[in-house]
């Protein structure tokens, strides 16, 4: 027996002087991090690399094990199209003293990441009390799940809509956060009861045009 056991992500080995530990990885998951060319936020990509670095320096590893783990991380970065020098930048950043943080109550906002355009939009919140976090749509669950058939009528959806006067063909374009069917019924009632709150109804009433 080699007098060792794998437990979670470490290998514990009994030696003559006590116990030693080293990082354990399943062969099938060694390179399982988000590739650099994937459409994911940089924060998500860097989270895995920071985790690998922190784990290497948190567990009680010997100097030889630390060096071996560092070489493994560099290989993982190269296999996923990252610049291996990222590891040196993280090390340099960790060694810098952390600035004092003011006690500010931040609010969080979630943005669906679609590419670099999302980063340009979220930059406007950089000097505000709003903290940004990202979510993604291209998860394995969403890609492999069966998509249900669309049974909802377009008239039960919200969005931008267009109404056309059946007499003069003038068009009104509006936007609603409620079902279009509901908003259209409001236009009909405005026309029926001579209510000028609806611009479309106002046009019909003032021009004495019919409604379809």
User: Is position 143 within any domain?
Assistant: no
Residue 61's pLDDT band (cuts 50, 70, 90): confident
User: Is position 117 within any domain?
Assistant: yes
45 plus 121 within the same structural domain: no
User: Is position 102 within any domain?
Assistant: no
User: What single string gives the DSSP state of each residue in 146-207?
Assistant: PPPP--S-GGGS-EEEEEE-TTT--EEEEEESS-HHHHHHHHHHHHHTT-TTSHHHHHHHHH
67 plus 38 within the same structural domain: yes
64 plus 32 within the same structural domain: yes
68 plus 116 within the same structural domain: no
Pairing mode, strands 159-164 and 171-176:
antiparallel
Q: Which two tokens stand for residue 160?
A: 């931008």
User: Is position 149 within any domain?
Assistant: no
Residue 106's pLDDT band (cuts 50, 70, 90): confident
20 plus 51 within the same structural domain: yes
User: Is position 37 within any domain?
Assistant: yes
Whole-number pLDDT of residue 103: 62
8 plus 90 within the same structural domain: yes
Q: How many domains does the chain have?
A: 3
User: Is position 83 within any domain?
Assistant: yes
124 plus 87 within the same structural domain: no
Answer whether residue 17 shows pLDDT above 60: yes
Burial label for 171, CB within 10 Å (0-12, 13-18, 19+), is exposed
48 plus 8 within the same structural domain: yes
9 plus 90 within the same structural domain: yes
The domain in which residue 162 lies consists of: 154-207
Answer whether residue 151 shows pLDDT above 80: no
Q: What is the mean pLDDT of residues 146-160?
A: 78
Q: List all residues 6 or more positions away from 185 whose beta carbon is below 8 Å from its beta carbon.
A: none
Residue 148's pLDDT band (cuts 50, 70, 90): low
């Amino acid at each position: 027996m080699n007098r060792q056991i794998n437990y979670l992500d470490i290998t514990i080995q009994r030696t003559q002087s006590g116990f030693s530990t080293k990082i354990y990885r399943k062969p099938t998951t060694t390179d399982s991090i988000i590739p650099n060319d994937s459409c994911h936020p940089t924060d998500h990509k860097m989270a895995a690399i920071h985790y690998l670095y922190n784990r290497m320096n948190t567990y009680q590893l010997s100097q030889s094990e630390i060096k071996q783990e560092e070489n493994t991380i560099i290989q993982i970065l190269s296999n996923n199209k990252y610049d291996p020098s990222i590891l040196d930048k993280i090390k340099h950043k960790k060694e810098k003293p952390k600035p004092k943080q003011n006690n500010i109550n931040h609010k969080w906002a979630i943005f669906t990441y679609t590419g670099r355009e999302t980063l340009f939009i979220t930059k406007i919140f950089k000097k505000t009390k709003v903290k940004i976090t990202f979510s993604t749509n291209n998860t394995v669950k969403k890609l492999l799940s069966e998509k249900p058939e669309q049974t909802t009528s377009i008239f039960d959806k919200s969005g931008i809509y267009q109404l056309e006067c059946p007499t003069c063909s003038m068009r009104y374009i509006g936007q609603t956060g409620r079902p279009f069917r509901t908003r259209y019924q409001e236009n009909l009632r405005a026309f029926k009861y001579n209510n000028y709150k609806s611009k479309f109804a106002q046009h019909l009433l003032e021009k004495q045009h019919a409604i379809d």
